[in-house]
Structure 1
Amino acid sequence: MNKYSLGLWVAALSLGCSGEPQSVGPDASPVTTGIEGESAVRAAVQPGGATRECFRYDSYLAALGELTAQCLGTVDSRLYHVGEDGLLTPSFRSCPLDPSRMSKIKQVLSVQRRGERAPFAAECLVERFEAAQEELNASGITSCPTWSKSRVINAIGHDTIAVVERSLSEPSAEVDARLSVDAPGVTRASLTLLDSGSELAAPPLNVFDLLEENSLYRVTSPLEGKGCESASACAATCAKAFTGFVVGAKGPQEVVTDPIAWLTDTTYKTSLEDPYLRATYYHPMSYYGGVPGVVFGDPNRAEPCGPNTTCLPELCTYYAGSHIKTRMQMDCLIPGDIETCASYCGPPLPKP
């Protein structure tokens, strides 16, 4: 279920021509480079500097909810607290159901430490959780339901992405901003040059529905009938901090969730298996929630076949006065520490 219809509609109405197309060729340069360039972009998009637009972090909270369910078999706003550094932090140290989920949880929460590229992320996440915890405590719910995944409803594969591709147009005259010719398997000739022409039109709203991989969970609660109308109602209340995670219920004991494509952590054996590496597909991140969209994804979107492979990073768009297509970059706050990593869609990052 798409939660950003209004923002995208407004963004589509506000888009206009960006002037004469710039030259496109092997030596052309992107509009902005480096973190300083992106800061200027955000100031231009939001006059007077960054504004607190907490809805931009809903997709990260939805991903956090999915990971928490996979980690602990339950979803409860009280499972997180504010640490001494003022950041939202898990109150648990391991994931008994799937140990790999702990690193993924920390990767999602690292958005709080990304400065101007994720303005007010920490404040937004903390405020969301504190409000949800207060509401949950007032509800009288002392124990949240257990969750078990029944099935994936909208598994994203080549058939789904083929439908999405037909709805995506080409961004205007800019070159791929990620000129990392020293990456494995990457040469300057392999980098995508974007078509010249008019401003990229906003994708149809159903594109984002198709890019949300819905999962069906069965939930059970010992409190059913004691403060909860049903296990699914209780689960939704317990998960309220994870905005956008629970999108509906299918009866009293099932809930539907929908993390977005670029925050999934699927890896593939080869580039041909990765539906996101289809010829004309890109993650339309610059439109998600309206301009300027979002810029961070799961690290595996920058290394879709795993580290040290020949698979190229997946394509995406970021906003810099126009929508620019580039490849996802691995972005680690601490080099070599995977728990601080995300994929990043934006101007080229400085080399570590």
Structure 2
Amino acid sequence: MGVLKISRLIVFFAALSLLSINESVGQIRYFRTPAISLKPDTTLAFIAASQDSIANDTLFQIRSKEGYPTAYFRKIKTSVCFDNKCRLLKVNLYWNSTGRYLGFELPKGEFLSKAEHKPFKPAEYERMSELLADPLSPLATLSYAELAPQVKPVDKGNEVDGVTSATAKNVLAYVVEGAAYTTYKMWHVVYGPTQEDVVHLTEKSVSPAFILMILNSPDLTDKIWALNHIRGFVPLTPELQQALFAFISPTDYNLAERAINALSADDLRASAIQRLLFAKFSESNYALKKRIISKFSEATILDAGVKKAFAEQLTSLNSELVSNVLDLFRKNKVADSETCRMVAQLLGNTNQLIAQKAFAYLKSTPVSDTLIEKQMKDYNLKK
């Protein structure tokens, strides 16, 4: 999708409580944990460029008193057709500021129904909300016609969609039974173009303070979204830096990898950042160590203290990590005697692959040191 083109329509006070998760005053609401728990203050209405099958193209943005986007919603009014009948679906769908599904709300007096217009039970509303919260649902790849067994219509002149109301067995796990078409329609609105519009609108409001709030969300996908919106979006303030480095831990690789990725080449110009990152190297597992070395390769200059610390770790690393560190040294044209002597210690390693990598590095490095030259000569004689 291209750049979202929007126009502001109206501003009014929001009277909606985003924490409602039950039925009250005849209105049915089911909501999940919000990314930001701030009291709603105003609501802005936008017309989005994205197109889908819903006639109403207005996307509402709920803002806090501080001006942060806390949620979005659309008033959905569309037809759900099955069993040669079409029924009107009226529901308000909500998204978090990160684009994650937040919940749904039915207009006062409205209810969701199954086949034969049987109203949903509370457990079925809860199941619907659970299903809508799954961004990886197989509904993404199913067509509308695949929701039920195909049959030949009795009256071709009265055909609507050519399927029965019975749900195909292979999709029962992904829909509310008896309401497969409603589930399908709502899921595809949640994860359709509107989700991209939500993200584009939020990106216009990101700030270090806003990202910090999203990082405190209990939801993993919100945290990852926030980490993905640091580099290139907001400056790395001291508070944000502290929060970011707290995620670099072997306890959760996905968060750690995203936190490392959030550091830019400009950030790595600071020796303090490089040293903090190396401190994480020492306490990381193999996968994270590899990722951290790769991140250091983005630095224009390798800090002297970090260079020495990497060299001191060489004898404790496996062959692949040794190779990665030597590649890092090669990129930074490391040729001082102190570092090269530490590399030369690897020539006596029992792992011949490590010894070979060390020899290849020293051979290609213009260093003049009699001790290193002797060690290289001895290594050659043993081959």
Question: How would you bin the TM-score normalised by the shorter chain?
Answer: under 0.3
| TM-score (normalised: structure 1) | 0.23
Q: More helix per residue: 1 or 2?
A: 2
| TM-score (normalised: structure 2) | 0.22
